[in-house]
Copies of this chain bind each other. A is one copy, B any other.
Amino acid sequence: MTISLPIAGNIFCIVGGASLVGSATAAHFLEQGAAEVRVFDNFVFGGEAALSHIKDHPRLRVVRGDVMRLPDLLAAQRGAHGVLQLAALMTLNMDRDSWTGMDVNIRGVQNSLEAARHNQVGKFVFASSNAVYGYGPGIRGELVEGTPFHSAGAPPAAILYGATKIIGEQLCRAAFQKHGQDYVVLRYSTVYGERQHYRAANALYIIETYDAVRAGRAPQIVGDGSETKHFVYVGDLARANAAAFEAAATDVAVNTSGPAPITTLELVRLVTEIAGGGPAPEFIGETPGKVRLTSGGAFDIVHDRAGAALGWRPQVEMREGLTRLIRWLEEDRARNAP
């Protein structure tokens, strides 16, 4: 069994690859000399646009398929040395359609693990989430890999999402224990960066804030703005994915969060500053019935174990990452302007 799997010279299949993280990771793996990068996606949520920066690369292969169809995965993973499992419905979509959410987030992982086993894939990297620590006021202090799952006071969709990620991790562990499938679990914190999609509630907040400020409207903050968010820049996650394959590590789950947490108020001020200034934020109450994902707590997602196990640490501070995101946003809108 392969435990350390170099990116250079090997073939990777990124399941759910036409996504924010998937497209950045595909580009990074190609730069690092991967023999081939296969982007597997059903293009329901993922879009061609996410791959525009690499679509003509000679070592990129785009494979249309669906994680619910095992034959699609068997074919796509054939001859692959590593599989990165990203495909998932996040909380907002889980709220709309928990049926599909269970399919993609659980059966999709089972199918992918079965395909990997059949194809003797050397290493499987599973994109989990800090959602495995749950939501609500119980989330406080340092979140380390042994922190339990809090759910009291959280909306159903958020709990469902977190629970599917707990299950995905354990399906990997069971595959390791039963069939020796090497794997690494990365618990992504909230991702942001260029080619940001409009589906993730917390990351979308950055764009909403920017748009408000640019239009001369006051950005809205629910509550007093003291809530913690802990983002991670997409390029740092692309490096984390590479490290998960390359490190001599298996059967481990690690947090991959950005350099430091930020409060909502600090985030809004930073976005406003990068936007060149604008109105002061407006503090508002909860919108009944709207799914919110923030905790109300003050926490710090500790990524020390990722350093120890994978030699990874985040490099991009929020000021730099937000500047890159906003630059891309403006360029993208200019390109797509009528």
Contacts and interface: CB of A to CB of B under 8 A. Distances in A.
Interface of A: 95, 98-99, 102, 106-107, 110, 134, 138, 145-146, 148-152, 156-157, 159-160, 163-164, 166-167, 170-171, 173-174, 177
B148 A177 contact: no
Majority-rule SS of A interface residues = helix
Contacts of A167: 102, 160, 163-164, 167
B98 A102 contact: no
A166 B148 contact: no
Contacts of A110: 98-99, 102
B148 A174 contact: no
Give the 10 A-B residue pairs with the shortest CB-CB distance, closest first. Answer: A146-B152, A149-B149, A148-B148, A156-B174, A156-B170, A148-B150, A156-B173, A163-B166, A159-B170, A163-B163
Contact of A106 (B106, B151, B156, B170): B106
Contacts of A174: 95, 98, 156-157, 160
Count of chain copies? 2
A324 to B, nearest CB: 36
A98 B175 CA distance: 11
A98 B170 CA distance: 10
A146 B163 CA distance: 16
Contact of A166 (B98, B102, B151, B173): B151
A230 to B, nearest CB: 19
Given A148-B150, A163-B166, A163-B167, 19 more contacts: A98-B174, A102-B106, A102-B167, A138-B148, A145-B152, A146-B152, A148-B148, A148-B152, A149-B149, A149-B151, A149-B166, A156-B170, A156-B171, A156-B173, A157-B174, A159-B170, A160-B170, A160-B174, A167-B167
Contacts of A149: 134, 148-151, 166
A102 B171 CA distance: 11
